[in-house]
Structure 1
Amino acid sequence: MYDYLIIGAGIIGLNIAKNLKERFPESKILVLEKEDEVAQHSSGRNSGVLHAGFYYSADSLKAKFTKEGNIALKEFVKSRGLKINECQKVVVATDDKEVEGLEELKRRGEANGVDLIWLDEDGLNELYPNIKTHKKALLCPSTATVNPKEVTKEFAKVIKDLGVELLLSCKYVSSSSNVVSTSLGDFQAKKVINCAGLYADNIARDFGFSKDYVIIPFKGIYLKDKNNVSHLETNVYPVPNLENPFLGVHYTLTVDGESKIGPTAIPALWRENYKGMDNFSLKEFSQILFYEAKLFLTNAFGFRSLAFSEVKKYSLSYLKGLAMKLTKQMNHDGFDSWSTPGIRAQLLNKNTLELVQDFVVESDENSVHVLNAVSPAFTSSIPFANWVVETHVLKNK
């Protein structure tokens, strides 16, 4: 009998395990992971950007945890001797309407306690001569990049050193009460904590949760300039559409000095639809197609135009063209290869047909289900895990 059984060894599951073991050193904790190593999905396939926390309205969980998470993850990375690129970030505008968007971001940043610096065109040109804006731009000094796979694997080392059991190649099958059946047998726990990412909603339904939600996967790919021929010096973002959770095509400078353009946000047709027909599931395909058809027909949150525009991003010239609106004479010849795809496990409210913007967790005395841990969940992982433990794991004891 385990005290806590955690399904999913992504960065959230690992941090919840770490938090619980540090609070209760004598507790028996088991983390199950279906892959043969950690960080095989969202935790290891994201951009590695440590966000600052100025996109989110002050009343959101994302606002609450992103600034604190940025600081905490930087401290962890530095204390463990991992790589970090403190390359900052610039958000630029292309017209007067987008300047209004910048002003809203500045207001949100101030409400969330995030340091943002106004730059006029001359000031931006002095710092970054190849970046273009209309009238003014926002500089965020606290944005940085790390290697997400390296960081997630380091958390796995930490929990094993603390005495948490990590069982790999162990796939969830079903549950009955608090007995979890897996491909490696049955395990019993006083409390089950579901951090299964792309499959969190399915597992939650086995426990009577996620009645209003379903996960819709979106595929993200970046176009890479491996040698940074472009001489990119910082992350460059457009003003986002704050009505949906995607940040638009931007430039990212990786921890290894590569530059990237992207990502796409292409509606995927099954949950692990990374490449070709790999991991194809007819059941998933049918379910996702049903909801995507519904979104397409109703054009909820502009899904129809989003789908068309995202598919066009498979064209290198189209994707480069979107990015080039943010720069002047930057050399784009090096952007010639695709990154490893990632899948965003985006929660959809089945009743309202809205993409859920904030983190969502459901729980009772027997189980906890992390249903929506989308970007910036990687950045927010340490304080978010602490909140899950305090608000859902311990309060429902």
Structure 2
Amino acid sequence: MTDVVIIGGGIVGLATALQLKQQRPELKVILIEKEPAVARHQTGHNSGVIHSGLYYKPGSLKATNCINGYHMLIDFCDAEGISYDLCGKIVVATKQEELPQLDTLYDRGQRNGLTGLKRLSLPEMREIEPHVNGVAGMFVPQTGIIDYKQVSDKYAEKFQALGGEIRLSERVEQVTPGTSLSIVVTNKNRYETKLVVNCAGLYSDKIAQLTQREPVDVRIVPFRGEYYKIRPEKQYLVKNLIYPVPDPNFPFLGVHFTRMIHGGIEAGPNAVLAFQREGYTKSAINLKELFETLAWPGFQKVAAKYWQTGLGEMYRSFSKSAFTKALQELIPEVQETDLEEGGAGVRAQACDRTGGLLDDFAILESDKAINVVNAPSPAATSSLSIGKTVSEKVLARF
């Protein structure tokens, strides 16, 4: 018998496991991951940005966890010798109609406790990023870059050093909640546990449904973000991080430029519907998962509301020239020939039945389970804070 079984070996599951063992070393905690290594999906495919908490509604779980998690992450990396670079970023309004949203972001940043935010004219922006274009901008000094796979590996190492167990290559097939214990059945083992913690990311809704009898009223809709890389000879065009003003109605940040901690510049991502939950390429299709997405009433409402945005994202996915045109709004000198194929990630975006794309982190609790059903960006930055939040919910049960 074990005290806690954590399902999912991404950065949130690992941070939760570490926080639990640090606070209560005597608890028997097992983390189960279906892949042969940790951090294989959202964590291992993200762009490695340390987010400042600029975008999130003051007082929301995203805002508080991002800001707290930011400081916890920096302290952790300093203590463990993990390299990062707080290089800052600029957010650029490329047209006049984006100025009110830029003002809103500036106000949110200040209300969220960010210091050193600076409004910028075009000449001031070009002192930071000489090749950028726009009508106005803002400098955010707290933003940085890091390797989250390295961070995750360190979480795993420290968790195991405290006596925690990680079981790799085990896929959870069944969870049976009982009166005192739950039974977790994988393709290899059977576990009796007092509590299940679900940090399964792209499959968090599926695992949540296994843990409770009543229907889970959210579904994970997978959105693939595709990147290009800038060829080495043109990387001088970008010094650090350049972001557009995001669309307030759509929880994605738009195509942007990111300097990577190990070198190179990424450009992107777009945001297109993935045809399977772990669909990192255009040709990756799981008909059952695709049908489940298309049949979800919430997704149908999202598609009806944002079909024009969706078509634009799909067009950019298949047209390199259209992708380039979007990038040229920020840096006009970027040419199609400057871009080479990059990687892709898939965002686990929770969508409720009414068509709401959940913007905040969401945690569902039942008698025998705690389910993290929505933890998209900035979950990596926020990981230690989310892990602390979840672990406190766990410890309240013991």
With the length of structure 2 as denominator, give the TM-score of the two structures. 0.93
Displacement, 1:389? 1.8
**Count of equivalent residues:** 390
Partner of 2:348: 345
Q: Pick which of 36-45 and 330-339 moved more.
A: 330-339
The reply to whether residue 4 of structure 1 matches residue 4 of structure 2 is yes
The reply to whether residue 55 of structure 1 matches residue 60 of structure 2 is no
Deviations 1:5-26 (A, max 9, x none): 1000110110111011011111
8 Å contact kept, 2:221–2:299? no
Gap regions ≥5 residues in structure 2: none
Tell me the distance in 1 between the aligned counterparts of 2:174 and 2:184. Answer: 6
Question: Tell me, what secondary structure is at the counterpart of 1:355?
Answer: coil
Partner of 1:233: 239
Displacement, 1:330? 5.1
Out of 323, 340, 350, which is 1:319 matched to?
323
Partner of 1:97: 97
Shift in CA distance, 86/333, structure 1 to aligned 2, threshold 3 Å: farther
8 Å contact kept, 1:261–1:319? no
Tell me the distance in 2 between the aligned counterparts of 1:124 and 1:277. Answer: 40
Out of 242, 245, 255, which is 2:248 matched to?
242
Displacement, 1:331? 6.5
Displacement, 1:100? 1.1
Partner of 2:125: 124
8 Å contact kept, 1:295–1:304? no
The reply to whether residue 43 of structure 1 matches residue 43 of structure 2 is yes
Shift in CA distance, 266/249, structure 1 to aligned 2, threshold 3 Å: same
Displacement, 1:310? 1.0
8 Å contact kept, 1:220–1:264? yes
Tell me the distance in 1 between the aligned counterparts of 2:6 and 2:233. Answer: 40
Tell me the distance in 2 between the aligned counterparts of 1:56 and 1:298. Answer: 21
Shift in CA distance, 335/100, structure 1 to aligned 2, threshold 3 Å: same
Partner of 1:160: 160
Tell me the distance in 1 between the aligned counterparts of 2:247 and 2:282. Answer: 30
Shift in CA distance, 129/147, structure 1 to aligned 2, threshold 3 Å: same
Question: Tell me, what secondary structure is at the counterpart of 2:161?
Answer: helix
The letter for the 1-side match of 2:314 is V
Q: Pick which of 353-362 and 90-99 moved more.
A: 90-99
Displacement, 1:118? 1.2
The reply to whether residue 363 of structure 1 matches residue 369 of structure 2 is no
- Please show how residues 86-235 of structure 1 align to structure 2 within 5 Å: 86-115=86-115, 116-134=117-135, 136-177=136-177, 178-208=182-212, 211-225=216-230, 227=232, 229-231=234-236, 232-235=238-241
Q: Pick which of 322-331 and 174-183 moved more.
A: 322-331
Deviations 1:185-212 (A, max 9, x none): 1011111101111111011111226621
The letter for the 1-side match of 2:372 is V
Question: Tell me, what secondary structure is at the counterpart of 1:371?
Answer: strand
The reply to whether residue 385 of structure 1 matches residue 384 of structure 2 is no
Tell me the distance in 2 between the aligned counterparts of 1:210 and 1:84. Answer: 42
Deviations 1:85-117 (A, max 9, x none): 322110011222211111000110011001211
Tell me the distance in 2 between the aligned counterparts of 1:229 and 1:144. Answer: 22
8 Å contact kept, 1:238–1:326? yes
Partner of 1:395: 396
Question: Tell me, what secondary structure is at the counterpart of 1:313?
Answer: helix
With the length of structure 1 as denominator, give the TM-score of the two structures. 0.93
Q: Pick which of 219-228 and 90-99 moved more.
A: 219-228
Displacement, 1:262? 0.5
Displacement, 1:285? 2.2
Tell me the distance in 1 between the aligned counterparts of 2:281 and 2:257. Answer: 23
Out of 333, 353, 356, which is 1:354 matched to?
356
Displacement, 1:79? 2.5
Displacement, 1:295? 4.2
The letter for the 2-side match of 1:368 is I
Tell me the distance in 1 between the aligned counterparts of 2:128 and 2:301. Answer: 46
8 Å contact kept, 2:85–2:145? yes
The letter for the 2-side match of 1:98 is E
Tell me the distance in 2 between the aligned counterparts of 1:331 and 1:306. Answer: 23
Tell me the distance in 2 between the aligned counterparts of 1:57 and 1:200. Answer: 24
Tell me the distance in 2 between the aligned counterparts of 1:47 and 1:228. Answer: 21
Q: Structure 1 vs Structure 2: percent identity of aligned residues? A: 34
Tell me the distance in 2 between the aligned counterparts of 1:228 and 1:173. Answer: 49
Tell me the distance in 2 between the aligned counterparts of 1:48 and 1:298. Answer: 28
Tell me the distance in 1 between the aligned counterparts of 2:129 and 2:88. Answer: 12
Tell me the distance in 2 between the aligned counterparts of 1:199 and 1:266. Answer: 18
Gap regions ≥5 residues in structure 1: none
Partner of 2:28: 28
Question: Tell me, what secondary structure is at the counterpart of 1:230?
Answer: helix
Displacement, 1:166? 0.4
Tell me the distance in 2 between the aligned counterparts of 1:217 and 1:108. Answer: 28
Displacement, 1:68? 1.9
Displacement, 1:155? 1.4
8 Å contact kept, 2:300–2:355? no
Tell me the distance in 2 between the aligned counterparts of 1:77 and 1:152. Answer: 11
Q: Pick which of 47-56 and 120-129 moved more.
A: 120-129
Tell me the distance in 1 between the aligned counterparts of 2:264 and 2:384. Answer: 27
Shift in CA distance, 207/94, structure 1 to aligned 2, threshold 3 Å: same
The letter for the 2-side match of 1:76 is F
Deviations 1:330-382 (A, max 9, x none): 5764421222x2111100001x1111110000113311000000111111111
